[in-house]
Amino acid sequence: MNTTTAMVKRTDTEQVIQLVTDSVTSPHSRRAYRRAVRDFMAWYAESGQTVLNKAIVQRYVAELNAEGKSAANVNQRLSAVRKLASEAADNDLLSEQSANGITRVKGVSQRGHRVGNWLAKDTAQDLLDAPNTAKLKGIRDRAILSLLIGTGVRRSEAASLTFSHVQQREGRWVIVDLVGKGGKVRTVPMPSWTKAAVDSWAAAADLSEGRIFRSMNKGGRIVGESLTGQAIDDVVKLYTHKAGLEGIACHDLRRTFAKLAHKGDAPLEQIQLSLGHASLKTTELYLGIEQDFADAPCDRLGLRLAEKES
């Protein structure tokens, strides 16, 4: 079988999507792949395609480009379609030849890099001070914002954080054995004010084990044993919207941590370790660092040539 129609005849759309989402571990990737595969299958049906092969996927990419989609967006969608082809072949829903052709479809070249958003120091401080700590929800939300800005963790990492993760190492509080993107494990230092915000929440909520952050109802009562990454993102959007900061999301607070640390002269490699980036180059791109020819590193060596006597 080598058609999407054949796949749908043997199983429904959700089951096909499940093949893809089950093959990735990151919750963020699962959501992104689910959306991308659903969009592709909708396009496939609406455009009247009858086969699934390299040429069809190339046509899909061309139409995305024509719609003005960004290179990053197109490449993410293409990655999901490649994964769909691979999983379909593994489950005898697509021929190996067709699947191999689809995996060879080239992505869109991405020139430059998107710097993204981050908050200035005073704006970040205002955001930390925004929650109403006279209420339990405000105490929780302040702790969430403090964790995101103070440590640079991802929203999924914040959601999965437990009290056992927070320990002392070399006289300071850290988050130990944090499992991040791609299953990478790291230890993240925590500033004293972030620890204080977390402690305030724990004391007010009478919590000492399990997940640190919990879901709450509109009445301000804890109603669950955990909190989703999306709920954490909703907390960020709530307070940034109140502050008139449109378009700011959790990842921008992670970027804010990196930017403020860099401006505070934190070593770049230490920022890299906190963020969990695989390479220093990724951190440099993340921060939007460009080479400074006016004040270059070679100007800071403090060396000179001795003057020879004539």
Distance CA 165, CA 206 (A): 18
113 flagged as catalytic? no
Which of 291, 243, 139, 132 is closest to 201 using CA atoms? 139
The values of phi and psi at residue 167, to 5°, are -140, 170
Q: 82, 154, 195, 255: which one is catalytic? A: 154
Q: 140, 254, 259, 262: which one is catalytic? A: 254
At how many degrees (to 10) do helices 280-287 and 268-275 cross? Answer: 100
Q: 181, 186, 211, 237: which one is catalytic? A: 181
Which of 22, 118, 87, 100 is closest to 54 using CA atoms? 100
Distance CA 234, CA 224 (A): 17
Please name the residues in contact with 140: beta carbons below 8 A apart, sequence gap of 6 or more: 201, 205, 213, 214, 216
Q: 195, 214, 255, 277: which one is catalytic? A: 277
241 flagged as catalytic? no
35 flagged as catalytic? no
| Element housing 159 (H / E) | helix 155-160
237 flagged as catalytic? no
155 is written with which tokens? 């929203």
Q: Are 116 and 250 in contact (CB under 8 A)?
A: no
How many alpha carbons fall within 13 Å on the CB side of residue 41?
Answer: 22
181 flagged as catalytic? yes
Q: How far is CA 200 from the centre of its chain?
A: 27
Which residue type does 167 have?
Q
Q: Are 116 and 256 in contact (CB under 8 A)?
A: no
165 flagged as catalytic? no
Catalytic residues: 154, 181, 251, 254, 277, 286
